[in-house]
Structure 1
Amino acid sequence: MKNFTLKKVVLFVLLFTICTLQSQKLSKNKQALVQSIEKHQNALIEISDKIWQAAETAFEETESSKILSDYAEKQGFTIERGVAEMPTAFVATYGSGKPVISVLGEFDALPGLSQNPVPTKSPITEGNPGHGCGHNLFGAGSLGAAVAIKELIEQGKIKGTVKFFGTPSEEKFFGKIWMVNAGLWDDVDVNISWHPAPVTEADVQSSLALVDFKVEFFGQAAHAAADPWNGRSASDALELYTAGINYYREHVKPTVRMHYHIQDGGQVVNVVPDYSRLWVRVRDSKRSGMLPVYEQVKKMAEGAAILANVEYKVSLISGIYEVLVNRTGGAIMQKNLELLGPIKYTDDEITFGKKIQEVTGKKQLGMDSNINPLRTTLKNSGGGSTDVGDVSWNVANINLRVTTAPIDTPWHSWAVVACGGMSIGHKGMLYSSKAMSMTMLDLFENPELVAKVKAEYKERKGDEVYKAIIPEGPPPIPTKE
């Protein structure tokens, strides 16, 4: 028993020494940022948990947006709500003059992923939404960074302006496109963003460009047995169209991805359907590669309509750019990750992570928050898509990923929701606040760094003229019945 107690004391002293040495590496201002986030940590966790519980989907994040904007306002930020014609979009601003450094906050959930904070599938309410991409952590973590920077500006330790962008509907309609189109980043020098992940790293990989569109077919209803010759089947057109997409897959580049979701294929079996609808998505590693595929897939809708002798309509939903990488900014973030060191997990948290891995058929490796060297930027990094890409083509952007779930966790799943509602997610969220605020501080304190980050942005952007891929008119806000 005495040996066990002695080991505990030695371990505590060792951890205390490591933490002390780590803090000694930080400047006074960076220490102040860490202290600020730790001072606000209970409030940030409460914000994250409330958004996790609300689990509101695209453009319906009324409560989540209010939680974040109200807290920012309470901390002294000036709030502009309902920006870019989106009721749940807002901008929180503090300070004046240059530089202007902004940070992104997302807060929308995904349909059908309701889950208790336990390591086995257990919906709170079957079929309800859940934060399967960790956006409850995303918004709260980014706000924590903005508040910490605001306090240094308030104390006169740094000069400039900090902005927190509350950005809705990342999972469906891509709200940032309309915010970019409204010119909300026009005065910003550098933008910072992060995303929950199974790893911690300065993110210098791109994403996939994407376009979403709706295809509808209009035919003639008839009795499916008595007089089918009087019918023109919209469902036939839909099947012919999806067959065309599937045959086309063989003849596109490996970087291309095509998906579709049949939203209406007819209502009953004994009626020749006069209407069908599907949601189609085309992606590629570059917008320039995506657009020709998009044009071809649109043409194929006309071909299917001709074959089935029906009418058709193609409607653009929205489209996004690939992320424009900034390695100069990534290197700044990398140094701050190395200063902070890895996240430490308890035995219970590691057990929680391993249980998720067991249940989802993965190796039981636990958690990974190692700080690896800055990775080479891959030519075609694959992965998903994000409307952060549109932001990155309008302002220099620095990205971060932070561990909030176990290694190899299936993303957009109940497992991510579970971790986002307990301490594994909370730790990652608070860590992101520290890493982002420290990177923002480097920019506030060193104008040369700002100039270098912006110079790389301009070089990588080149002659590309940004053009938002959105239909005419306002954002597609759901109407209340």
Structure 2
Amino acid sequence: MSKETVFEWVDENESRLVDVAERIWETPELGLHEEQSAAALIELLEGEGFEVESGVAGMPTAFVATYGEGGPKVGILGEYDALPGLSQKVEAERDPVEEGGPGHGCGHNLFGTAGAGAAIAVKEALGESGDSGTVVFYGCPAEETLVGKTYMARAGVFDDLDAALTWHPGDLSTPRMGSSNALDSIMFTFHGEAAHAGGSPDSGRSALDAVELMNTGVEYMREHVSDDARMHYVITNGGEAPNVVPAEATVWHYVRAPEREEVERNTEWLRDIAEAAALMTQTEVSERFLTGCYDYRANDVVSDVIWQNMQEVGPIPYDDADYEFAADLKATVPDDRIESGLSNVPEELYDEIREKSLHPDPVEPFDHDHQTHGSTEVADVSWITPTAQFTAATWPVGAPGHSWQVVAANGDFGLKGVAFTAKVLAGATYDLLTTPKTVAAAREEFDEEIGSDAYETPLPEDAEPPFDVTT
């Protein structure tokens, strides 16, 4: 088995992969509804001899594609869901393809395609050599709602992996070493009694009052949680008309903290506040647990394998037209947002990176001690098996994720990142499959840091994938 075989397959099939990424970009679909996107990737993988299991973990657009036999067994994670309201043409001004429609503001059209391409490239090497080893591509839906991998993890699909690899579009190419916040996502619905708000308010019991009292309680709770904890919410249903006492109202809460244990403590406190609000308003409250995830833990051994391959592959080959379009997009982003997005960049690199429109060269990992306040369900996989991820510079420098500027980039010059990331993922997978000592070292680190029996799903037994929640 040769790594040259791996890289050559990507080079020879780059146009095929770009075509798939473009198809997914042109048909953006929201989480748990990615029928065309999942089908495009399944078609690609099945056409190359992968055995595909669809509809895993109760999600029709989740799938597992496997090639090979025996160990080591290495998984590559892929995503392909879009975001609501971010439809955008490939232009340097806000101009939706479809007003109010979805768009790939996180680059998952690139993400899933590159991962699938990497898995196929490794398959070519395995088939050429006949060596033992298994590569698995995981089609993970609904990352934006932090659903796909948590429900797949509960179903046990990652349990037999020796290692997992993934990536994400961004404005720098670098391994991600920092942690993320664990999270619970819960809806609370209060049930009261409707009445005429002017004529007989005494006969009503306002579910909206309960929601507002609950949210007020959370505001006072903030003073007594750790500085890094986060609670945020939105009222999804507050009633129909001012002259009717709302009989039903719903509030959707996120609870975040650097560690899973703190999230669970704060969630129990949140539940107490909900019950108290119901008592104060003589209403009843019910809970819908949508999803929950852990804090991400990078495996140093696997991350180093990724970094070695990033250096081996080299920079993304952008041309003058790419730099020009990226500069036009960057010019539409306010300076304070660019500076905020680069706030974690080391001081010695800041000036060099800040002045560029694109930064295609790999950057040595620098965020080992960084705690991002966002969340990812890649974290759950990292508590099950040694896991590493990286970002690739497919966006203009400083461009914020979930923005129309990023959608435009992902449909244009960002497509050149597909081959780069496919090679990095495939090369790292090759190295793990052919160096048992590295796999053993990764497992030893994992057992010391986390422990093989540490992961317990945050999901209640009766939790089901929330097909109606697409934001």
TM-score by shorter chain over 0.5:
yes
Q: Which residue of 2 aligns with 1:120?
A: 93
Tell me the C-alpha RMSD between the 2 structures: 1.7
Q: Which residue of 2 aligns with 1:421?
A: 411
Q: Which residue of 1 aligns with 2:281?
A: 308
- In structure 1, distance between residues paired with 2:160 and 2:421: 24
Aligned residues of 1:331 and 1:374 also touching (Cα < 8 A): no
> In the alignment, is residue 194 of structure 1 matched against residue 185 of structure 2?
no
Q: Which residue of 1 aligns with 2:457?
A: 468
Matches within 5 A, 1:20-169: 29-156=2-129, 158-169=131-142
**Match of 1:392, as an amino acid?**
S
- Give the stretch that moved more between structures: 466-475 or 57-66: 466-475
- In structure 1, distance between residues paired with 2:146 and 2:125: 36
Matches within 5 A, 1:279-358: 279-358=252-331
Change over 3 Å in CA distance of 1:216–1:474 after alignment to 2: closer
After superposition, what is the alpha-carbon deviation per residue over 1:159-215, rounded to whole angstroms, capped at 9, x for unaligned?
A: 311111111111115121222222212222111111111111011122110001111
Aligned-pair CA distance for 1:473: 3.6
- In structure 2, distance between residues paired with 1:376 and 1:219: 49
After superposition, what is the alpha-carbon deviation per residue over 1:449-469, rounded to whole angstroms, capped at 9, x for unaligned?
A: 111111111111137631111
> In the alignment, is residue 375 of structure 1 matched against residue 375 of structure 2?
no
Structure 2 unaligned spans of 5+: 339-354
Aligned residues of 1:158 and 1:444 also touching (Cα < 8 A): no
Aligned-pair CA distance for 1:471: 2.8
Aligned residues of 1:86 and 1:475 also touching (Cα < 8 A): no
Partner of 1:318, secondary structure, is strand
Change over 3 Å in CA distance of 1:374–1:478 after alignment to 2: closer
Structure 1 unaligned spans of 5+: 1-27
Matches within 5 A, 1:185-334: 185-334=158-307
- Give the stretch that moved more between structures: 325-334 or 364-373: 364-373
Partner of 1:222, secondary structure, is coil
Q: Which residue of 2 aligns with 1:395?
A: 385
- In structure 1, distance between residues paired with 2:84 and 2:13: 30
Aligned-pair CA distance for 1:320: 0.4
**Match of 1:48, as an amino acid?**
A
Aligned residues of 1:173 and 1:317 also touching (Cα < 8 A): no
Aligned residues of 1:198 and 1:403 also touching (Cα < 8 A): yes
For residue 357 of structure 2, the aligned residue among 363, 366, 391 is 366
> In the alignment, is residue 384 of structure 1 matched against residue 368 of structure 2?
no
Aligned residues of 2:42 and 2:52 also touching (Cα < 8 A): yes
Answer with 1 or 2: which has the greater Rg. 1
Aligned residues of 1:113 and 1:132 also touching (Cα < 8 A): yes
- In structure 1, distance between residues paired with 2:191 and 2:464: 26
TM-score (structure 1 length as normaliser): 0.90
Q: Which residue of 2 aligns with 1:441?
A: 430
TM-score (structure 2 length as normaliser): 0.92
Aligned residues of 1:317 and 1:471 also touching (Cα < 8 A): no
Number of aligned pairs?
450
Aligned-pair CA distance for 1:158: 4.5
After superposition, what is the alpha-carbon deviation per residue over 1:327-372, rounded to whole angstroms, capped at 9, x for unaligned?
A: 1111111111112222232222122222222212136631123322
After superposition, what is the alpha-carbon deviation per residue over 1:137-160, rounded to whole angstroms, capped at 9, x for unaligned?
A: 110010111011000011116431
Q: After the TM superposition, which segments of 4 or more aligned residues of structure 1 sit over 6 Å from their partners?
A: none
- In structure 1, distance between residues paired with 2:334 and 2:466: 39
**Match of 1:196, as an amino acid?**
P
Aligned-pair CA distance for 1:37: 0.7
After superposition, what is the alpha-carbon deviation per residue over 1:96-132, rounded to whole angstroms, capped at 9, x for unaligned?
A: 1111111011111111111112222111111111111
- The higher-RCO structure (CA 8 Å, 6+ apart) is 2
- Give the stretch that moved more between structures: 356-365 or 59-68: 356-365
- In structure 2, distance between residues paired with 1:53 and 1:475: 29
- In structure 1, distance between residues paired with 2:329 and 2:416: 18
After superposition, what is the alpha-carbon deviation per residue over 1:294-337, rounded to whole angstroms, capped at 9, x for unaligned?
A: 11111111122222222212221110011121111111111111
- In structure 1, distance between residues paired with 2:271 and 2:105: 31
**Match of 1:417, as an amino acid?**
V
Aligned-pair CA distance for 1:247: 2.5
After superposition, what is the alpha-carbon deviation per residue over 1:416-443, rounded to whole angstroms, capped at 9, x for unaligned?
A: 21111112x1122221101111111111
